[in-house]
Structure formats: C-alpha cells, structure tokens
C-alpha cells in the first residue's frame, strides 16, 4: 500500500462493517420494537462508563510510550485525546443514577476492548490511533439511528447522555480524524496490522451487542421437580 493511504483503507473498512452491523443488528431490532429491557440499558451504560474511564488511562499510557520513543508529534496527538475524553465517564454515572443502578459489572466484551487497547499500545502506539479512529467514526455513523431506536424503547436522548453527548463530541473529532491519521502514519506499523486492530474491535463490539441483547431475554424457566 502506498504511504499516506491508510485513512481511506480504514474508512472503507469501518463504513462497510457499520453498514452490515446496522442491517443485521438484533440489538437495534429489540430497541426499535420496544423490547430493550432496563437491565440491558444498565449493563450498556455501566460498560460505557468503564470503557470511557479506562480509555482515558490508556490514552495517557500511549502518550507516555510515545515520549519514550521520542515521537513528539504522536505524543501530542494522544495528550490532546486525553483532554478530549476527560470526564466522559461522568455522563454514564449520571445516567445510571437516573436508572437507580450502580453496582452492575461491565460486559465481558467491554473489558476485552480495553485489553485490546493495551495490546495495541504495546505493539505500537499508532495502533491505538487506528482504534481511536474506529471508535469515533462508527459512533458518528450509527449514533443518531441508535438514539432513535432507543427512544422507541422509552430511553430518550436526555436520559442516555453517555451516548448522546459522546455522539456530539465524536462528530467534531471524527471530522478531522482521517486527515490526522494520514499525517501521523509513517508506514509503520504496516497497514495490515492496523486493519487487524480495527477488525478485532469490530468483532468485540458485535460480542458486546450480543451480551446486551442477552439481558433482555426472558429468564429460563425452572422445570418442576
């Protein structure tokens, strides 16, 4: 691949996946048909709280790693991202308070997403740039429709601010993301490595949606003895 074309490759990958994910999403179907239960939303919001909180820490680690590598430009990118993401977990805390739930653990796949971030940074800090572009861009691509679906289940935008406010923020960030990634990429790591990070993130997010769906399924009946 020619140097400098990584943005278009990742953009195509994210758009293709997002289109397919939206078309086949069981989670969207449940929400759109008014079947998404409150326990699903508390798990969703607690998972967002966890991911927002831990992502801030990982972005700071990525900046520190860039400092060690004497890559001032990439370090500045990550320090800017830390500032952008600071406090976003408080939106989810406020939403959960309105739901009256505080103790639910995050979904396993959201924990796996954070582990993917850490592995990506250890492999090469630029892998975290690819992950960040994925997270921001797919949020923009799917966010408005997802909020409309949630409203059909009774979850209005002002009650799920961890989603609605994050969408507003990412709409600004994603607009510049692909120009930034082309400016920052110097051919390493190779494009197939960056694509693999995005593909794994897509798979984990699909798993996350399945875990949220499972919370809305009826409890299995206990057979009489």
Average pLDDT over residues 91-99: 91
Average pLDDT over residues 70-88: 94
For domain 6-214, give the CATH number.
Answer: 1.20.910.10
Do the beta carbons of residue 107 and residue 211 sit within 8 Å?
yes
Which of 64-68, 79-83, 96-100, 182-186 is least confident?
96-100
Per-residue pLDDT tens digits for 16-42: 999 999 899 999 999 999 999 999 999
Do the beta carbons of residue 126 and residue 3 sit within 8 Å?
no
Select the more confidently predicted residue: 99 or 80: 80
Share of the chain above pLDDT 90, in %: 79
> What pTM value is reported for the model?
0.92
Q: Where are the domains of the chain?
A: 6-214
Split at pLDDT 50, 70, 90, the class of 102 is low
Question: DSSP for 18-47?
Answer: HHHHHHH-HHHHHHHTT---HHHHHHHHHH
């Amino acid at each position: 691949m020619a140097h400098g074309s990584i943005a278009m490759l990742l953009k195509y990958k994210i758009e293709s996946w997002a289109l397919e994910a939206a078309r086949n999403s069981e989670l969207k179907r449940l929400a759109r048909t008014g079947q998404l239960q409150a326990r699903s939303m508390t798990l969703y919001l607690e998972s967002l709280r966890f991911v927002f909180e831990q992502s801030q820490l990982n972005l700071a680690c990525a900046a520190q790693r860039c400092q060690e590598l004497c890559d001032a430009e990439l370090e500045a990118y990550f320090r800017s991202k830390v500032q952008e993401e600071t406090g976003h977990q408080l939106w989810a805390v406020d939403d959960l308070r309105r739901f009256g739930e505080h103790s639910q653990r995050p979904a396993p796949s959201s924990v796996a997403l954070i582990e993917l971030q850490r592995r990506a940074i250890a492999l090469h800090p630029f892998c975290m740039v690819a992950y960040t572009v994925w997270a921001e861009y797919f949020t923009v691509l799917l966010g408005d429709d997802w909020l409309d679906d949630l409203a059909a289940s009774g979850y209005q935008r002002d009650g799920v601010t961890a989603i609605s406010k994050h969408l507003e923020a990412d709409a600004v960030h994603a607009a510049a993301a692909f120009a930034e990634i082309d400016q920052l990429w110097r051919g390493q790591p190779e494009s197939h490595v960056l694509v693999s990070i995005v593909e794994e993130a897509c798979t984990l997010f699909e798993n996350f949606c399945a875990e949220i769906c499972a919370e809305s399924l009826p409890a299995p009946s206990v057979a009489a003895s």
